[in-house]
Structure 1
Amino acid sequence: MEEKNKETSMSRLKIILRLFKMVKPVRKVMLFAIFFGTLNHLSNIAVLTWGAWLVSSFLIPGAIPPGTFAISLLFIFGILKGVSAYVEQLANHEVAFRLLAHLRTSFYKEIEPLVPAKLLDKRSGDVISRIGGDIEIIEVFFAHTISPVAIAFTVSVSVLIFLGMFWWVLPLVVLPFQIVLGILVPVFWERYVRKNGQKLRAALGDTNAYLTDSLQGIETILLFNQGKNRRDEIGRKGDYLNSIKRGHSSRQGWLFGFVNGTILLANIATIVVAVYGYLGNHIDMQGLIVVTASSISAFVPLFSVAVVSHYLSESFASAERLFKMIDEKPAVVDAPDATPDLPKDFDITFKNVSFAYKQNGSKVLDNFSLYIPQGKSIALVGESGSGKSTVLRLLMRFWDFNEGEILIGNRNIKKICQKSIYDITALVAQDSHLFDATIKENIAIGKPDATMDEIIQSAKQANIHEFILTLPKGYETSIGELGDKLSGGERQRIVISRVLLKNPQILIFDEPTSNLDSFNENAIQETLNKISRDRTVIIVTHRLSLLANVDKAYRLQEGKLSDFEIPKAARKTASASA
């Protein structure tokens, strides 16, 4: 289980620099948080130090008693601490949440070009884990690292200056402990727990992916009586994940113990040296009390910096998982000379196209050529794995072909921006996705600014309008509310409504009736016959009934194309239904 998670690690410096670049849009709020965070900790030190000075003024014989203003300062420092602590937390989390929202949007934007070629070898549960869990873990860096480090540095320097005002030796005593807690512990501890953090995030992603896969296939699992085996495997993955978490938590305990011990040792050393200074007449009794009070509270921000290094191992591992995914190069990118201009004509030509999914792999298409006149419909038939769907995906620029040309209206599709290709094409697949939104919203994806009349018209063309009206909420019915109540044919007709609303020049159907019964297949076939007129249409199917009204059919076998004679029975069936 550990072997498959081994990957080349990114350097920590590279990860940190990339995370810092993300702070740029909110740097003003970040500076605001650092200012009030510094004010919070200095106010805390001031409360203890000034309080110690006030008490000593009353207790030490011969000391000047404080006046009303001096006593009032203690309350002012207390109020200042409360207000600044609130503003600091508010600003820090404002930074974190705004950056997390930006990161989610950016991550989605970056993985869009990877679809589908680069995501085929990734499990959906692992991708979901990265979008959800990993991005949330990065919040530790934004909200609990950048600001605390800046605050700890500012407060530590202020404390050194303050102690130096009493006796120059005191800063020399405190400084080594500040270096240990603020620099050495975070750096070396993060390196120590780095691999464990990476294993933890990888194991969590693997477990989430397995759970997602199990939930998606739970019906199949039950039908084949594999529930116990699946539960056992989930238990094993959970035990493995828990063992990693236990080790991580154990190390956390050791870190907290070491940091607290170091702070205690620093306080003792400071008090001992301060007493020595008092005995040597370098500082007076009141100074001794004030120095002791200030040293006790001075290490609070350094404690935060020291212990956050434990959580940073997970944050950096999460950031690395995200960066590795978004750094992948898309299988298809627009050429430098590609333009968004649409072709004037929409005939399609494949010229000697060869394609293999993997470099040096076997060719799925080999010297493939095909011409589809504008406004005509053709069908591709063939066995599974013969390359039928590959033809469609190359046309839609989901993959880049290795050799040859694909032309739309005599323009090479590599010279047309992908967005423009998507504008003029539409795909109805056997498993086209419906979103957990209303029927109206699912149809309107084809044209977001469509009027209700346009949506209804497209539904009528797809023969689904009457069914929608039978639903309690009509077009406002949520797909999620219906669950599995929608038949395969009804789902397909909603998808076809979406396509019709888009009104593309090129229609592509990839096994649109493969999962339907004969009744729904006939209904979908009737719909396809009606909407395919005056459009360039490609149908991939293994059902002969869909060939009834196409202008020409071809058989694809081992990457080679040959004419396919449409059975007369299919033609007769089409004539009878018409």
Structure 2
Amino acid sequence: MSRKGIVVMGKLIGLIKPLLHIMLLAILLGIAGNLSAMAITVLGGHGILKVLNMDYGIALSTVFILLGICALIRGVLRYGEQACNHYIAFKLLAFIRHQVFAALRRLAPAKLEGKEKGNLIALLTSDIELLEVFYAHTISPIAIGVATSAIVGCYLATYHILYGVLAIAAYIVIGGVFPIIISKAGREKGLVYRNSIGAMNSFLLDSLRGLTEVLQYQAGEKRRTKLKEKTSELEEKQWEFKRLENLTRVMNDVGVIVFSLFTLLLGSWLFEKGIVGFEGVFIPFVTMIGSFGPVIALSNLSNNLMHTLASGNRVLDLLEETPIVTEIIDKEEVFFEGAACEDVCFGYGKRQILNGFSTELEKHKILGIHGKNGCGKSTLLKLLMRFYDVNKGTVTISKKNVKNINTDNLRRLEGYVTQETHIFNATIAENIGIAKEGATREEIIKAAKKASLHDFIMSLPNGYDTGTGELGDKLSGGERQRVGIARAFLHNAPFLLLDEPTSNLDSLNEGIILKALVDYSQDKTVILVSHRESTMNIAERILQM
């Protein structure tokens, strides 16, 4: 969703509410710090006039003392402002990360299946990190720039009202009009650029994961060519931003020169009219030149703001995305007494998978499901897990619609083993133990023995403390699958859903696993999806789909 920049800023600023007092302190420190910096310029002007015997209001020694005090105060205030801003930024980044991961959990798995993993990685890393710029270097500078400009405008108006009017006009043009023009020119470019980074990450991740196939089929040159094309496209988009940054600098420099010249011309005119003396020309001119810092900072924000708002827009898209399946809470606890599907219809988009499907599974039975690819075997298990909601019909557990069972209750009732078990970059014990919070080593070992995995684990140098590598690349396909089965045994749910649980196992290990499943299922209910006839032999009833 493409939101207006002001809308994105409003939503991001809304997150500051718990830290508003610190933000106000940062703004006050920033205003005081900028005024101290400007005071150095003004005092310097008075010092020059004193040397020229044109200023009789302040002693030269006093000027030097005040210069030293202002310089010291400026440093302290600047440090305090930055400390407050970064405290807010890091606190909010931690909060946003928590919100993003909560959103991912809420959206998973249905809405995440179609998302590019590299794009998600870019969002979770660079997009969120870029928001640090917004919170630490955008919000308070805007408030500081507006407040400081108003104060300086009032100060210049004490010499003559036209000085104040000219100053405010200059600040509005440089700190307001210029950034709006640049932001409008780069708003869409920012979103396209951030999406392009995500697409690049997806391509690189895909290439790394498929490196073996790339080497085997000598597709390296093709991948390199495509990577070079994507890199060139990304560089071109980046150069568009560089051109906008250069344009911003040119506009700022011209604006400062023009308005400073106007101030000098205005002072000269007022001097000729006898309205102000030489001090009334020189001090406003010097003040005007030294007062553009905060508004130039505002104008320069437009460059980073294009990236930041694009990143914020992508983060907000994820946070506000509606899950396909909403979590259920505050319902009565349900205990497993069988499962059933009645007249179930379901499809992914326009592709219909199940049409009027019905079956019933009694407690403590093993149901085998057999059928050709694409007939809906795996989809049925996902519907029972309520990863998706049916388009029509009902899926029930203990005669209760799964839509009316607390989500955490449903997860406790069901154990789910997929054909492609995901392995975390952790130890084998940690990978198995994820199935039960606080599982003891004895429980983990018992589950591994049931999955015919214990002997293999003990043959490793570090046993259960052996690392599995990223994506479990230190384990074979069969070993990864047995880790998944061990998790199911450890989870010890009354209703077990198995999707091709032995597809990566040889006949010997398949037989051991099937025997363990038969023993395990004495007081359990099992749905077993498989294309192997040997696997179907343990089923008490086989459903052909």
Match 1:80 to one of 65, 70, 73: 73
CA deviations on 1:305-329 (whole Å, 9 max, x unpaired) are 1121122222222222233334332
Aligned counterpart, 1:547: 536
CA deviations on 1:495-544 (whole Å, 9 max, x unpaired) are 22322222211111111122333344344334333333311111111112
Aligned counterpart, 1:394: 383
Aligned counterpart, 1:343: 334
Match 1:37 to one of 30, 36, 39: 30
| Aligned: 1:363 with 2:356 | no
Q: Identify unmatched segments of 5+ residues in structure 2.
A: none
Matched-pair contact (CA < 8 Å) for 1:346–1:505: no
Aligned counterpart, 1:567: none
Matched-pair contact (CA < 8 Å) for 1:341–1:420: no
Distance in 1 separating the partners of 2:370 and 2:166: 83
Matched AA of 1:354: C
Q: Report the 3-state secondary structure (helix = DSSP H, G, I; strand = E; otherwise coil) of the residue aligned with 1:549.
A: coil
Distance in 2 separating the partners of 1:277 and 1:241: 54
Matched-pair contact (CA < 8 Å) for 1:378–1:552: yes
Measured after TM superposition, the shift of residue 155 of structure 1 is: 0.4
Structure 2 counterparts to residues 274-353 of structure 1, below 5 A: 274-334=267-327, 339-353=330-344
Aligned counterpart, 2:163: 170
Measured after TM superposition, the shift of residue 379 of structure 1 is: 1.0
Matched AA of 1:215: L
| Aligned: 1:475 with 2:464 | yes
Structure 2 counterparts to residues 72-151 of structure 1, below 5 A: 72-151=65-144
| Aligned: 1:462 with 2:451 | yes
Structure 2 counterparts to residues 107-256 of structure 1, below 5 A: 107-256=100-249
Distance in 2 separating the partners of 1:263 and 1:62: 27
Measured after TM superposition, the shift of residue 427 of structure 1 is: 0.9
* Higher mean C-alpha deviation, range 387-396 or range 487-496: 487-496
Measured after TM superposition, the shift of residue 158 of structure 1 is: 0.9
Measured after TM superposition, the shift of residue 431 of structure 1 is: 0.9
Matched-pair contact (CA < 8 Å) for 1:49–1:290: yes
Distance verdict in 2 for CA 1:183–1:67, change over 3 Å: closer
Q: Report the 3-state secondary structure (helix = DSSP H, G, I; strand = E; otherwise coil) of the residue aligned with 1:515.
A: coil
Q: Report the 3-state secondary structure (helix = DSSP H, G, I; strand = E; otherwise coil) of the residue aligned with 2:201.
A: helix
Matched AA of 2:339: I
CA deviations on 1:122-177 (whole Å, 9 max, x unpaired) are 21112222222222233332222211110001100110111122222211221211
Note the aligned Cα RMSD (angstroms): 2.2
Distance verdict in 2 for CA 1:10–1:65, change over 3 Å: closer
Distance in 2 separating the partners of 1:9 and 1:314: 14
Distance in 2 separating the partners of 1:522 and 1:82: 75
Matched-pair contact (CA < 8 Å) for 1:489–1:521: no
Measured after TM superposition, the shift of residue 238 of structure 1 is: 0.9
Q: Report the 3-state secondary structure (helix = DSSP H, G, I; strand = E; otherwise coil) of the residue aligned with 1:448.
A: coil
CA deviations on 1:5-56 (whole Å, 9 max, x unpaired) are xxx6323333222112122232222222212111221111112212322342
Aligned counterpart, 2:7: 14
Aligned counterpart, 1:408: 397
Matched-pair contact (CA < 8 Å) for 2:452–2:509: no
Distance verdict in 2 for CA 1:407–1:53, change over 3 Å: same
Measured after TM superposition, the shift of residue 62 of structure 1 is: 7.0
Matched-pair contact (CA < 8 Å) for 2:341–2:360: yes
* Higher mean C-alpha deviation, range 114-123 or range 57-66: 57-66
Distance verdict in 2 for CA 1:138–1:61, change over 3 Å: closer
Distance in 1 separating the partners of 2:200 and 2:470: 29
Distance in 1 separating the partners of 2:238 and 2:215: 31
Aligned counterpart, 1:453: 442
Provide TM-score, normalisation by structure 2: 0.94
Aligned counterpart, 1:4: none
Aligned counterpart, 1:561: none
Distance verdict in 2 for CA 1:367–1:41, change over 3 Å: same
Matched-pair contact (CA < 8 Å) for 1:380–1:540: yes
Q: How many residues align?
A: 545
Distance in 2 separating the partners of 1:103 and 1:394: 31
Matched-pair contact (CA < 8 Å) for 2:451–2:486: yes
Aligned counterpart, 1:510: 499
Measured after TM superposition, the shift of residue 198 of structure 1 is: 2.2
Match 2:527 to one of 538, 543, 554: 538
Distance in 2 separating the partners of 1:293 and 1:452: 75
Distance in 2 separating the partners of 1:37 and 1:29: 12
Matched-pair contact (CA < 8 Å) for 2:49–2:55: no
CA deviations on 1:179-223 (whole Å, 9 max, x unpaired) are 111221122221111222222122222222111111111212222
Distance in 1 separating the partners of 2:41 and 2:400: 77
Aligned counterpart, 1:60: 53
Matched AA of 1:76: I
Measured after TM superposition, the shift of residue 398 of structure 1 is: 0.7
Q: Report the 3-state secondary structure (helix = DSSP H, G, I; strand = E; otherwise coil) of the residue aligned with 1:371.
A: strand
Distance in 2 separating the partners of 1:251 and 1:426: 55
Matched-pair contact (CA < 8 Å) for 1:160–1:171: yes
Q: Report the 3-state secondary structure (helix = DSSP H, G, I; strand = E; otherwise coil) of the residue aligned with 1:352.
A: strand
Q: Report the 3-state secondary structure (helix = DSSP H, G, I; strand = E; otherwise coil) of the residue aligned with 1:364.
A: strand
Aligned counterpart, 2:513: 524
* Higher mean C-alpha deviation, range 152-161 or range 468-477: 468-477
Q: Report the 3-state secondary structure (helix = DSSP H, G, I; strand = E; otherwise coil) of the residue aligned with 2:240.
A: helix
Measured after TM superposition, the shift of residue 476 of structure 1 is: 2.7
* Higher mean C-alpha deviation, range 484-493 or range 146-155: 484-493
Provide TM-score, normalisation by structure 1: 0.89
* Higher mean C-alpha deviation, range 275-284 or range 32-41: 275-284
Q: Report the 3-state secondary structure (helix = DSSP H, G, I; strand = E; otherwise coil) of the residue aligned with 2:222.
A: helix
Distance in 2 separating the partners of 1:342 and 1:191: 54
Matched-pair contact (CA < 8 Å) for 1:58–1:65: no
Distance in 2 separating the partners of 1:301 and 1:520: 71
Distance in 2 separating the partners of 1:176 and 1:323: 35
Q: Report the 3-state secondary structure (helix = DSSP H, G, I; strand = E; otherwise coil) of the residue aligned with 1:532.
A: helix
Distance in 1 separating the partners of 2:282 and 2:462: 75
Distance in 2 separating the partners of 1:127 and 1:535: 38
CA deviations on 1:98-129 (whole Å, 9 max, x unpaired) are 22222122112112232222223221112222
Measured after TM superposition, the shift of residue 382 of structure 1 is: 0.9
Distance verdict in 2 for CA 1:243–1:524, change over 3 Å: same
Aligned counterpart, 1:491: 480
Q: Report the 3-state secondary structure (helix = DSSP H, G, I; strand = E; otherwise coil) of the residue aligned with 2:501.
A: coil
